Amino acid sequence: MFLALSAELKVLQYKLEEHNLHDPDRPKVAFSAALNNAGRVGPNRYDNTLKYTKVFTNIGNHYNQYTGIFRAPRKGVYFFTFSNYSAGSPSLGSRLYKNGVMIASAAIWQNSYTENQSSNSVALLLEVGDRVYNRLPSAHQVYGSPNNHCTFSGFLLFPM
């Protein structure tokens, strides 16, 4: 009896997982974008929000390529990842912000002509309207190229 109930439970769990993955009512939120081919960005006198204008996907249209800001359409846990690339000094890197508060950084100090990359990822609980964006610190640079080394992506893991 126990084995039969255990097997039935596993079947029901599998069906529930399949339903949740393929539920047409499940919210779909995802974006991925890269810096354009402008070459070196920075260093600047002040911190600047990076605008990833080469959009690969923007399901739900919650990432704004003109401002560089993602706005959460609903409460949930979201996953974000960002990567940076540059060659030569000064330092390369960027910082991920949520509503004006720095959450994560990916930076490397450079004092010679070398190619470097940095990246970081976070999972965040967001409320409706929360803003997530990536900023270039004043003394840092990144490099936008056709190879799409500098990217910013995010997606809804699950609603709350």
Domain ranges for the chain: 27-159
Reported as a pLDDT band with limits 50, 70 and 90, residue 111 is low
The pLDDT assigned to 86 comes to 80
The yes or no reply on domain 27-159 and CATH 3.60.21.10 is no
Residue closest to 33 by CA, chosen among 75, 74, 66: 66
Residues 59-71: what's their mean pLDDT? 97
pLDDT digits (tens, 9 = 90+) for 99-110: 999 999 887 676
How far is residue 158's CA from residue 83's CA, in Å, rounded to a whole number? 23
How far is residue 48's CA from residue 120's CA, in Å, rounded to a whole number? 18
Q: Cα torsion at 81, 86, 89, 93 (round to 10°)?
A: -10
In the predicted structure, residue 55 carries a pLDDT above the cut 90: yes
pTM of the model as a whole: 0.82
* β-pair type (76-87, 39-41): unpaired
In the predicted structure, residue 24 carries a pLDDT above the cut 90: no
Q: Are 28 and 130 in contact (CB under 8 A)?
A: no
